């Protein structure tokens, strides 16, 4: 098994092995299966990074449930609006639903804060956040909905298992950290 790799000529070392990730996902799914029994939850995956995590998580979910994906676009607005975000593909039928937002990583938390604000506009019954990775030391705003965390990790750049370094590395089966 390769423990050191380079992506775009930057060096990374093995951080979370494939089996470690798989085991943790199985446990997260068991918890979700218990918590959402008979609630027909709607899982919303945040593209691009969550695609492998959501796929592997869903294989362990044995509930009646639905799955959608959104993508967050960021672009420069006018000088008064600064950076503008948009939640592309947000389902419009969230009223009264139990929502689980699925992310690969929560770093500053600002992306998730924006997603939650858009979801609450539709008056869902409940909202939880499920993230594979969480960097508590990087968090800028508290996220009360953060009920399912795979791994709390140090404030270091990671790549693999859906996470990219400048476009590359999403297809790695394991998670690596910058050295």
Ligand X SMILES: O=P(O)(O)OC[C@H]1O[C@H](OP(=O)(O)OP(=O)(O)O)[C@H](O)[C@@H]1O
Ligand Y SMILES: Nc1nc2[nH]cnc2c(=O)[nH]1
- Residues with catalytic roles: 107
Please provide residue 171's backbone torsions phi and psi, each rounded to the nearest 5 degrees: -85, 0
Q: Which stretch binds ligand Y (CB under 6 A): 15-23, 25-33, 70-78, 151-159?
A: 151-159
Q: Which of 72, 112, 132, 158 binds ligand Y (CB under 6 A)?
A: 158
Smallest separation (angstroms) from ligand X to the CB of 160: 12
Footprint on residues 1-40 left by ligand Y (CB under 6 A): none
CA-nearest of 115, 166, 164, 87 to 176 is 164
Say how far apart CA 173 and CA 179 lie, in whole Å.
18
Position 159 contacts ligand Y (CB under 6 A):
yes
Q: State whether residue 94 is helix, strand or coil.
A: coil
Smallest separation (angstroms) from ligand X to the CB of 67: 17
Q: Which stretch binds ligand Y (CB under 6 A): 1-9, 91-99, 116-124, 159-167?
A: 159-167
46 binds, among ligand X, ligand Y, none (CB under 5 to 8 A by kind): ligand X
Q: Which of 163, 172, 174, 175 binds ligand Y (CB under 6 A)?
A: 163
Are residues 159 and 169 in contact, defined by beta-carbon separation less than 8 angstroms? yes
Q: Which stretch binds ligand Y (CB under 6 A): 18-26, 53-61, 119-127, 158-166?
A: 158-166
Residue 9 exposed, middle or buried by CB count within 10 Å (0-12, 13-18, 19+): exposed
Q: Which helix (H) or strand (E) holds 55?
A: helix 51-59
Q: Helices 18-35 and 51-59 sit at what angle, rounded to 10 degrees? A: 60
Q: Is the Cα torsion angle 144, 141, 158, 103 positive or negative in sign?
A: positive
Footprint on residues 129-168 left by ligand X (CB under 6 A): 164
Q: Which of 94, 111, 134, 148 binds ligand X (CB under 6 A)?
A: 111
Q: State whether residue 176 is helix, strand or coil.
A: strand
Position 104 contacts ligand X (CB under 6 A):
yes
Residues that bind ligand Y (CB under 6 A): 105, 107, 157-159, 163-165
């Amino acid at each position: 098994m390769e423990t050191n790799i380079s992506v775009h000529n930057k060096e990374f070392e093995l951080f979370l092995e494939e089996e470690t990730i798989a085991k943790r996902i199985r446990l997260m799914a068991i918890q979700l299966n218990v918590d959402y029994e008979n609630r027909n939850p709607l899982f919303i995956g945040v593209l691009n990074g969550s695609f492998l995590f959501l796929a592997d998580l869903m294989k362990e979910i044995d509930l009646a449930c639905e799955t959608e994906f959104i993508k967050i676009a960021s672009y420069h607005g006018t000088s008064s609006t600064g950076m503008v975000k948009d939640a592309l593909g947000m389902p419009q039928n969230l009223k009264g639903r139990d929502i689980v937002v699925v992310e690969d990583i929560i770093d500053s938390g600002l992306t998730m804060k924006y997603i939650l604000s858009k979801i609450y506009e539709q008056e869902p019954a409940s909202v939880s956040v499920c993230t594979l990775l969480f960097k508590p030391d990087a968090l800028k705003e508290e996220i009360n909905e953060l009920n399912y965390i795979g791994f709390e990790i140090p404030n270091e750049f990671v790549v693999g298992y859906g996470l990219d370094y400048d476009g590359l590395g999403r297809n790695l089966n394991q998670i690596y950290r910058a050295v």
